[in-house]
A and B are shown apart, each in its own frame.
Chain A
Amino acid sequence: MALSAKQAEIEQFYYHEAFLLDSGNFHEWLDLFTDDTRYWIPVRQTRDSREESVGKEDSIALVEDDKSFLILRVKRFDTGLAHAEQPPSRTRHFVSNVVITADRGEVCEVRSNVLVFQSRYEKSENFFVGYREDVLRKVGDSWKVASRKVVLDQPVLPRVLSIFF
């Protein structure tokens, strides 16, 4: 079975996004998100059930941003005082296992895996691994992220979160 044109388009969208992040082009990256977007990284714990291991809506989160705070995070990089990313880390984003889980034409729910490598100063030992559940919406002729949930598999993070997923 040939992959649908939509599947190919969405995969290309993710590769482009990964390229923007890895080349530090955060302003263009912000444009990939709708104005009403939600960017959420729930907490992770070791619990008896898989279900309980992912933080819920009423739990505290690792990151829980609307568009305005995402913009602020990028603005922070521009101040030159964001010591955690100045000098910038080197990152490499790998996106795989992309599956359109619900196709409603101009709106798609997409699940993907992410593996993100972060090298900072002399250290090159940090990996973040997880999956994403996105809602993508067609705006004009490009896809945008209307909502993103990033579930990291590490209950104890290897370091603070100074990068995006």
Chain B
Amino acid sequence: MASVVSNPELVNSKRGLVSRQLFMDPEIYQTELERVYARCWLYLGHESQVKEHGDYLSNYMGEDPIILWRDGHDRVRAYLNSCLHRGMKVCRTDAGSARSFTCSYHGWTYNAEGKLTGVPYFREAYFGELNREEWGLKEVPRVVNYGGFIFGCWDESAISLEEYLGDVRWYLDILIERPLGRLEVLPGMQRYKLPGNWKIQADNFAGDVYHVPFAHGSWGKTGMPIAGGVTIDNYATQKAYSFAFKHGHGALDMRLNDETYEADLVLAQQFGPETVDYIRESRERLLKRLSERQARIYTWGVGNLFPNFAVNNFSAFFPVGLYLWHPKGPDKSEVWQWCAVDSAAPAAVKEMARVGFTKVQSAGGFFGQDDSDNFEQVTEATRGVIGRRCWFNYQMGLGHEEDLQMEGYPGHVTHRMSEANQRNFYAYWSQLMERE
């Protein structure tokens, strides 16, 4: 039987076309769980969410539930959230603190080192013969903390996290180094179902500058600025750049020449001298810890780290938004999102970021609502036989990828409004999918 997955025409990078089967076909979906999700470095959580021995949070890697858990030796580890006896979820809560979990089915107990420490009726029923060493929790073999962001990978032969992130680290470092205290994820998370394939969200965050003026037109029409002096009217024409990176990562809305910093200074005046100092010190810190170019970028904009982790930060008055587009089926996903702030920011700045998080890319935010509605209807119109035979068009700026040359900025700079980042995303996706 000819497999849909082996069809070389699924992703036609030269023509900027992607088959709609990628967003609907069950076989492609199952294959990508194996070849993308079980092989790539995936975001698991932030170190500030698991500070003490026993702190844990529940998350997913693909469709596999995992526990991110700090052990007794101050190491953050990740395990498949499934009892090795007969599969029950050992952790049934979203977050908390526990030195051990006791399975609610037959009572096997595991500690934070993943060891099976308790088996009911071990002598009487197992005659002491079960090798408990062998039946500890299944551990994610590679878990690495990059500046507080914790990633995990099931594939022991995969390249290192550093190599996987590659040049995108240079930009991520700005978010990691700017806080005068430490980046801290606030309590609570938002989760909502999105009836559409996870890649629709991911490619949007990797590079879709194009949709903002129209899809989010209501934001500007109500008179709200986007951030840092940007409004819906000057959004499209502002001087900013998109960057595509190796391994499918993409970032957009990068303003390189202190534009965001200067807008923050203006806003800071309204808060008073303490906040003005805070903004100045944040930039000075970047200058000390990183390079002048990074200090002048000062923030991050929007970006998607392949496959399904997106980060946004529009200014120091905005939260650092952390988003996971969890796959839940060929035509279903769930958005999980958190909000992080600098622990040393003035209280008013933190509060503005915390409340602001609900207004924009959020379950009830203007951007989140409209994106979700669009992605749901994209999916409905792709379900049918004829719909699936069509392409998604990513031709914007095709052939203009090399127009801009900028010395000293890692990654591949492209026109801001372009679909080069999405083409880069799908080129890497298809490279992974071709590997048996």
Contact = CB atoms under 8 A, between A and B. Distances in A.
Interface in B349-376: 354-355, 357-359, 362-364, 366, 368-370, 372-374, 376
A158 interface: yes
B94 A60 contact: no
Contacts of A45: 93-95, 188-189
Contact of A76 (B189, B194, B366, B368): B366
In order of increasing CB-CB distance, the 3 nearest A-B pairs are A59-B188, A84-B369, A161-B364
Interface in A56-110: 56, 58-65, 69, 72, 75-76, 79, 81-85
Contacts of A158: 192-193
Main secondary structure of the interface of B (DSSP, over half): mixed
A46 B218 CA distance: 34
Given A157-B363, A159-B193, A60 B187 contact: yes
A116 to B, nearest CB: 14
Given A62-B363, A79-B218, A160 B94 contact: no
Interface in A98-156: 121-122, 155-156
A62 B186 contact: no
Given A41-B364, A45-B188, A160-B373, A75 B334 contact: no
Given A46-B92, A84-B372, A156-B192, A76 B221 contact: yes
A4 to B, nearest CB: 35
Contact of B221 (A48, A79, A155): A79
Interface centre among A42, A47, A162 (most CB of B within 10 A): A162
A79 B217 contact: yes
Contacts of B358: 60-65
A98 to B, nearest CB: 25
A94 B377 CA distance: 28
Contacts of A81: 217-218, 221
Contacts, number: 122
Interface in B181-229: 186-195, 215, 217-219, 221-222, 224
A155 B189 CA distance: 9
A43 interface: yes
Interface centre among A79, A83, A155, A158 (most CB of B within 10 A): A83
Nearest to A162: B369
18 contacts: A45-B188, A48-B96, A55-B187, A60-B188, A60-B338, A60-B358, A72-B224, A76-B219, A82-B369, A83-B215, A84-B370, A84-B373, A122-B380, A156-B191, A156-B192, A156-B334, A159-B195, A160-B194
A54 to B, nearest CB: 10
Contacts of B96: 47-48, 52
A54 B94 CA distance: 12
A45 B49 CA distance: 15
B339 interface: yes
